Structure 1
Amino acid sequence: MASAASVSSLAEEVTCPICQATLREPVTIDCGHNFCRGCLARYCEGRGAGPPGCPLCKEPFRARALRPNWQLAGVVEHIERLQPGAAPGPAEEACAQHGEKLYFFCEDDEAQLCVVCREAGLHGAHTVRFLEAAAEPYREQIQKCLVNLRKEREEIQEIQSRENKRIQVLLTQVATKRQQVMSEFAHLSQFLEEQRGILLAQLEKLDGDILEQQEEFDRLVAGEICRFSTLIEELEEKSERPASELLTDIRSTLIRCETRKCRKPEAVSPELGQQIRDFPRRALPLQREVKSFLEKLCFELDYEPAHISLDPQTSHPKLLLSEDHQRARFSYKWQISPDSPQRFDRATCVLALRGFTGGRHTWVVSVDLAHGGSCTVGVASGDVQRKGELRLRPEAGVWAVRLAWGFVSALGSFPTRLALEEQPRQLRVSLDYEVGWVTFCNAVTQEHIYTFTASFTREVFPFFGVWGRGSGFSLSYEGAA
């Protein structure tokens, strides 16, 4: 067994001239001197043009042609094992087959090797590198993966935060709707109670009128029965008398009986009967009030009406706007419109005069299309592109649908033709800014058409576009109530 002195002497022989410590990943340069790979790499850093010189003999060497000294690495390994306390520590794994320290990594087999494994010949044709050198590119790959994973995690966290805010907004809206429902039904309950009292009082009066006319009818009928009973008794008595008495005043008696006409009273007067028949009409105000209540309730549970007008400063010159800025029609004749940064110059579009930065709003657009014409309706970001070609898609700040002759399309990242029961003539657009919903439906049939989901951070404006001679649109408020 080697003595401590011989081991110490060998340790001095395997000392790096640069760091004065035991060689780590020893490499040999052109002049034959050995150094730690890391020390030599740091030594070469910052050198000027031309090959660097050996730290010992100053002989030039090629920095890219460093040769790993496997034998010397094995000697270092043995020396470290012979020194006291040189057994592999907890962080230094040993080769399971040879018990030697793991120095190398085979790229082909993805296996960690000791000096014995490396010299055994099984990996002779493989790419073998020192562990740290082999680990470095993988560290770089890991760092790239970490960057991407952290970025994706941040995106998921942003989505989580946005969706949680959206949920809170929805919960607040539901609480508000609950209060609205309770309030409206309280008013309705009070109104119904009042109407119930009024209608019952009217029915009570009709009931009294009927009983009063029944008494009058019974009195008249009793009088008529009494008179007819008297005549009947008189004739019965007359018929039983002798002929001489029977013939006395017989003609006047018969004439009096024959000319006696029966009065046929009515139990209910025509006027009272008409009042009874007309009574359901007295409930018409109640019916109208309940209908109005339901419409108001449904609307208040939905969105606030947005009374909007078109902004002539943004209108394309081919759009002819009405004086009240409530209608627009396509015209091949260019209008005299001074150019400005706000005006669309390629897309025949126009924005509303005012936008929204919050809240829930709805408006209705009546569309009038000529053959081959089309109309685009939706919302757009305030910084939407006004000059040049405008891409009608959410990525460009436009959330809209297009009504064309015979079909309707949702203008998403890829336009999607929608299957609808009927072509809408009136389109309701509803915006929920906080939740991020842009909803379209048929304002007449209430058929849902499409809903965009977005995350609004800037002001958005009602957006309109029309194309085709004779085609146009108008802002309508009848469908919004």
Structure 2
Amino acid sequence: MASAASVTSLVDEVNCPICQGTLREPVTIDCGHNFCRGCLTRYCEIPGSESEESLTCPLCKEPFRPGSFRPNWQLANVVENIERLKLVATLGPEEEDVCQEHGEKVYFFCEDDEAQLCVVCREAGEHGAHTVRFLEDAAGPYREQIQKCLMNLRKEREEIQEIQSRENKRIQVLLTQVATKRQQVISEFAHLSQFLEEQRSILLEQLERLDGDILKQQEEFDSLVAGEICRFSALIEELEEKSERPARELLTDIRSTLIRCETRKCRKPEAVSPELGQRIRDFPQQALPLQKEMKKFLEKLCFELDYEPAHISLDPQTSHPKLLLSEDYKRARFSYKWQNSPESPQRFDRATCVLAHSGFTGGRHTWVVNVDLAHGGSCTVGVVSEDVRRKGELRLRPEEGVWALRLAWGFVSALASFPTRLALEEQLRQVRVSLDYEVGWVTFANAVTHEHIYTFTASFTGKVFPFFGLWGRGSSFSLSY
């Protein structure tokens, strides 16, 4: 039986450094010290401790993060046991083992009344027909029940802890995804802002040019009109003077004067030339690239916010021996020299291919393949089912669990049931592969221009993996997102 002094010593060991009382819901911080959850929470709320950098351990002054509280279940169990010992120590051995009614030592337990009995109690008539056992014999089955309960409770606690760990990891993944999307929005709008500023400068410059051309033609028009008005004013003045002269002078050279006035035709100039007018009417067409770029921006932004960037790497266990993988497994290069690769059921032995290390069983994912082909080289990118053929000949078509695009020197083909050569506006060097597992789409696009290339439609039932094939000395590819 624990003495009062020993219990007091144990109690001192499980005191909270903040409230000086026994720990309640003990939690551990980064430096290893333990506190009551409530005390530490109130400590973090002290004015002047709002920033995480200013929070330090009340004991050792080591910095810690408020979100780093870790429940200390083992210490909580120790505290509970100490409290129980403390209670027993305060009762004393006489009060614990002696029947309060008869003053005799307690030896028995009545299972019907769940009462502890001394010899006198046992002989009393009220327990005569009951099941009475010695204390240890009666405690045995209850100990077993308690152990079963403890086993179940500990199992449930472990399950809760596993759920907590899993959900915390999930929260971290979601926070990472949100941070990535935030960075995407900032980056895309920064690019858009730069593009809009460039377009604004171009359009304003064109308007300035039109404005200058209009003013120039106005000046030419005013000069021409002023000259015409001056000439007509001179003729009018001459005729007015002629009409007031005597008949002899009026008739002198009258026919020549009239011919000169009648044959003088007024030139009717235009203030704005047809060419300038057409340029003004065509000005709205200058904004079409802006409209097209805005549409492309919105489509790209919605796509990138909808699809999760896949942080994939190449799986060396699946790589054909002719593929040289980089140390970070983000790049592969073709070599005619076979690598010393151990035999593996997952490894491709004829098709010079490699899979990503991780596959997908749901969701929307996207990644970019940067292709660098030598003359005569080719690269295959896409998605394959987990049970795709690894040994012998691999037929690259959907019926074999392969949904892929082949990039070769000078052309691109969709590897459908019957390969389809595709016409593209420019040579493809960066391919964006997008997987929508639930809908069953595998989409390929030009990662630079965002031009759609091809989309496969499938019904996925198991795990699928990003897939890559490479051929041709000097050819390589690398991964990004």
Shared fold per TM-score greater than 0.5:
no
Q: Normalization by structure 2: what TM-score?
A: 0.42
More helix per residue: 1 or 2?
2
